[in-house]
Amino acid sequence: MRLRLPGMSRSDRARWRAARSIDDLAQLTALWLEGRITSHPGVMPHCGPDDETTSLVPVLALANRAGYLTDNSQPGIAETGFDGRWWEQRAAVTGWVRRDRAGIDLVNRIVAAADAAGLIVCADSHRTGIPVTRADGHIQTGFGAQQSTRDLRAIWPARLIHRDLFRQLEGAIHLTVADPEYGRDSLLWDVLAQALSTPPAPATEPAITEPALYVLVGPAGSGKSTVAARRFPTGAALELDAFRALAAGTPADQSATPAAVTAFDAILTARLERGLLTVLDATHAEARHRRKYTVLAHQHGMRAIAVVADTPTAECQRRNAMRPDDRRVPPRILRAQARQAAALRAKDDGFDAVLRARDLDSTP
């Protein structure tokens, strides 16, 4: 009798197929490392990271969310193996970073921290790579060796990855960092975490500084939170999901919505009373929700301004497909949100002005 092993779930296949950039792959890898999605293209379906990787998950997830798509990693180990030989590992990590200004800045931060700590760094692949594992003194494996398209397709199966991603990976910076000392596991991860946790200097000032109530409008996946973070002062955004998470421990628990709304409205009112610039980060697809907040702003003598994130629905669906189950919106609901948001009538809803998110995000 032939056994058939379970394959990747339909939802996970959809997530990986929706990826269009190295950053997309890195975000999904972080979710897989944390157990929030069950399968990774380069690993047997429904299997998580190796047991030895468990302690490394927080820093590896941090690396991926910063834009460092990790391909392989290992802790520093020195011990007798199952075969009776003396096995030694260097703590090491390897992966890809996109070759643009932000990616180069990230690599420079990691390289500077690694160099200062005396770690081995290889930025861009070379023929043999860095030896990272040996048994009884004989080298067994290395990280950072030059990879062909065929190698990349073995790591990232073509049936699961968009064809454009192979060109991006071929052109990316292949970054490897390793501890020069075999068996030591107390240095590399702290250095990497510190480098990744140090934010780069902001390239621009926030585009919007005028005190007013800014109401983001757009379906899930339209980029509202990105615009709020990039173009408004730090701390100005109120997000209902964050209040729901405070009330219930997870933003997905809809039963916590009444408590979350009560707290949300209390903080919003306090900010409006003080004349503070405030951004409301939610879909606000329904007119009744928009009117509630424009009325509140006017009661406190503040202007109400709509910020419309009119990203094409197909792109919203693609981004939505990559989200973990507890954050993914059913496609039919997302389509309904897009229709409702597109029907915005600014004057009827009480807005004093309308801004387009794409215009804000292109502001230098």
* Best CA proximity match to 122, nearest among 133, 101, 139, 107: 107
**Per-residue pLDDT tens digits for 174-198:** 999 999 999 999 999 999 999 998 6
Quickly count: other Cβ atoms within 10 Å of residue 330's Cβ.
Answer: 10
pLDDT at 118: 95
* Best CA proximity match to 8, nearest among 52, 36, 43: 43
pLDDT over 70, % of the chain = 94
Six token digits for residue 89: 């590992």
Indicate if the pLDDT at residue 199 is higher than 90.
no
pLDDT at 4: 43
Lateral strand order in the sheet of 213-217: 237-239, 278-281, 213-217, 304-308, 353-356
DSSP string of 79-102, one letter each residue: EE-TTSSEEEE--EEEEEE-SSHH
Task: Give the H or E element holding residue 169.
Answer: helix 164-171
Average confidence score pLDDT of the chain: 88
pLDDT at 353: 93
Task: Tell me the residue type at 11.
Answer: S
Residues for the chain: how many in total? 364
